[in-house]
Amino acid sequence: MRREMAVCVGYQGIDVRGGIIVSVKTQLFVALLLIVALSVKIWIKSESTQVGYVLAAARQTGIELDMKRRELELQRSVYLRPDHLKQKAAERLGLQAMSPHQAKKVIYVN
């Protein structure tokens, strides 16, 4: 069994197994198309990796902000406790508990 192969000279066609003739222009076009497709695939992979990094950073920021929110809610609940408010009113403003004889009844007349 004898197989023949043609050699590419200039813009002549090439005999590829089975008698199919493919021109050099077609080969160059297919090679260029393959290079473009592989470049696009690499670019997409690079972009998806970059988006993954951005997403991970945003997720970490969200976790940190949630922890800060919980800390501030705890701090607010401590500051709004009646005993804490009473202590701060006495320390900063000099306020004391009102005695019954200090209370005045106010009547609004229209």
- Digit-coded pLDDT (tens) for 74-98: 999 999 999 999 999 999 988 888 8
Q: Which residues contact 24 (CB under 8 A, 6 or more apart)?
A: 8, 10, 11, 12, 13, 14
Query: Is residue 12's pLDDT more than 80?
Result: no
The first and second tokens of residue 25, run together, are 């222009």
**What's the pLDDT score for residue 62?**
98
Token pair in block for residue 14:
């090439």
The percentage of residues in the chain with a pLDDT greater than 70, rounded to a whole number, is 83
**Tokens coding 13:** 């066609």
Two tokens, residue 87: 């202590």
